[in-house]
Amino acid sequence: MAETKLLFHLSDIHFGLEDNRALDWVEREIAERQPDAVAITGDLTMRARPAEFAAAEKWIHALKAPVTVEPGNHDLPNYYLPSRYLNPLGRFEAFRDVVEKRIELPGIALVPLNTNVPAQPRLNWSKGWVSEQALSDCLDQIDALAKGTRALVCVHHPLRETGTQGTALTRNGEKALDALAQRGVLGVLSGHVHDAFDIMEQTPHGPVRMIGAGTLSKRIRSTPPSFNELTWDGEELHVTVRNLEGIDTPDMMIDDVPVDAMPPRGEGEPVAPIGRVPRTDPPAY
Ligand SMILES: [Fe+2]
Ligand SMILES: [Fe+2]
């Protein structure tokens, strides 16, 4: 049996409104536990400002572990700017080496799938969109993995959409999930929701596990700042939510991912474990 692999899944740090206590804690955990890799699933910044990217670059390059970063909707330059179209990842320049990076370890790999597009034919551009090119790039990378290596696909937006055009969370999300089911991926790691979840999503070609990490920013929703700790022993992927202690949200101080936690199905439907009354303010992640 392959040696057990330890992965940390962080998300939505939102430099500019980061929680420094949470970041100091995670940095210490990475130094002490020495994960085999760290996946950061987007929204590194609040407004894609140069100073926010500089802080992100400094923090990420100081981590003592291999890192891969997915861009989030907050990381693209603002609407209508030429740079959003011509060079959407231009502000990642100082740490382009870790952005959308595939990390292949013995038996398991982190494979990127971009869910951002420069423009969308709908009002809310914060939502996800899996382009044909992005999906094809991701599938090619999965197909190129060594035989027997299982893929964990890293995205920013959860790959889920509703049936109505106007409220789709991630356009082409279902199509992407179905393609990933056919490749037998181990799971899809996402951010954007700011609360952790671990669910199985059904597709025509079987279920796909969707794992969401919470936030390490001050923009918390139902849960304290957190990250996910994943272990892979070659047979089972175990996910534990690590919550920052001492945060006064006793109703949601969970030790593990609630089995019934769900990402939102559309605008105005925030994530919440079933049976809990969700907040009614519309999400803006
Ligand atoms: Fe987001
Ligand atoms: Fe976010």
Can you list the domains of the chain with their CATH numbers?
5-252 (3.60.21.10)
User: What distance in angstroms lies between residue 17's CA and the mean position of ligand 1's atoms?
Assistant: 14
CB 240 within 8 A of CB 254: no
User: What distance in angstroms lies between residue 45's CA and the mean position of ligand 2's atoms?
Assistant: 8
Instruction: Kindly list the averaged pLDDT for each block of 10 residues, start to end, along the chain of length 285.
Output: 90 97 97 97 94 96 96 81 70 88 97 85 76 97 97 94 55 95 97 92 95 95 93 96 72 47 45 35 46
- Judged by its nearest atom, the ligand closest to the C-alpha of residue 46 is 2
pLDDT in tens, 224-280: 999 999 999 999 999 999 999 765 554 444 444 444 455 544 433 344 333 333 333
Between the CA atoms of 267, 259, 253 and 239, what dihedral angle is there, to the nearest 10 degrees?
-100
Q: What is the 8-class DSSP label of residue 148?
A: T
User: What distance in angstroms lies between residue 94's CA and the mean position of ligand 2's atoms?
Assistant: 21
| pLDDT of 117 | 77
Give the three-class secondary structure for 258.
coil
What are the angstrom distances between the C-alpha of 107 and each of 2, 230, 241? 7, 14, 23
